Amino acid sequence: MLATKLYQPMGTGPNDRHLSAYKIRKAAEDSLQRLGTDHIDLYQMHHVDRSTPWDEIWQAMEQLVREGKVTYVGSSNFAGWHVATAQQEAGRRHFLGLVSEQSLYNLTARTVELELIPALRHYGIGLIPWSPLGGGLLGGALQKADSGRRSSPDFLAAVERHRSQLERYEALCADLGERPADVALAWLLHNPAVATTIVGPRTPEQLHRTLRAPHLNLSAETLRELDEIWPGPGGEAPEAYAW
């Protein structure tokens, strides 16, 4: 599957950014040319555009789908109510709308469990977590904090901030006989809302090791332990904070 995004400025003109109809169509044409292909499988809005009407956005996306240049449309960094609005407006136009949402989600960042995931489940939209290893924290940080980019001041500060949790987490992974990165990915994949995850292997060997995660089944006891180490928001809204 070939996926790409649009939103960020690619020029200095007033329509060279965000999600105007002009920008949507021009960004798609430019991507097709750069990628040397005639269609994009998944065309994703990198962020919600608070100033462009949904009628304008969906009209441009519909045209690209009719022309066979785009198959599916996705979003990224949307809130639950953004997803709901987008789908209601798409449905009013008899258009499929969104099929996926990319969002920050990992054991250290679980805010999406409150409202985004329930919205995605309601509309049948797949979640694609980005930063599934928490910027490297969940990939064996205590063993690797002195090497490469993991020796940066920001990363080392994050390790110290979460040291007690990381010690418990890496000990649990050791007891399971699994790599911390694989456990973190497997935890995401056990959630039915998650369609796939974005990983960033730098070598073929790293990619091959990552393929262990889809085959790793975590027991109910292990899932409870992970929840204790990395607590979420307490469930879905509003039950997480009200009756």
Q: Distance between CA 183 and CA 165 in Å, rounded?
A: 15
**Residue 188 belongs to domain spanning:** 3-134+180-217
Structure confidence at residue 152 (pLDDT): 86
For the entire predicted model, the pTM comes to: 0.93
Residue 107 lies in a domain: yes
CB distance 194 to 185 below 8 Å: no
Residue 152 lies in a domain: no
Residue spans of beta strands (DSSP E) within 56-138: 70-76, 98-104, 126-130
| Burial call 24-54: b when 16+ CB within 10 Å, e when fewer | bbbbbeebbeeeeeeebebbbbbbbbeebeb
Residue 241 lies in a domain: no
Residue 201 lies in a domain: yes
CATH number of 73's domain = 3.20.20.100
Structure confidence at residue 15 (pLDDT): 73
Number of compact structural domains in the chain = 1
Matching residue, tokens 């329509």: 15
> Cα dihedral angle (224, 117, 81, 132), rounded to 10 degrees?
90
Structure confidence at residue 164 (pLDDT): 97
Residue 80 lies in a domain: yes
Residue 141 lies in a domain: no
Residues whose CB falls within 8 Å of the CB of residue 186, separated by 6 or more in sequence, listed in order? 178, 213, 214, 216, 217, 218
Q: Which residues of the chain have pLDDT under 50?
A: none
Matching residue, tokens 């045209």: 63
Residue 64 lies in a domain: yes
φ/ψ region of 201 (left if φ > 0, alpha if ψ in -120 to 50, else beta) reads: beta
Structure confidence at residue 150 (pLDDT): 67
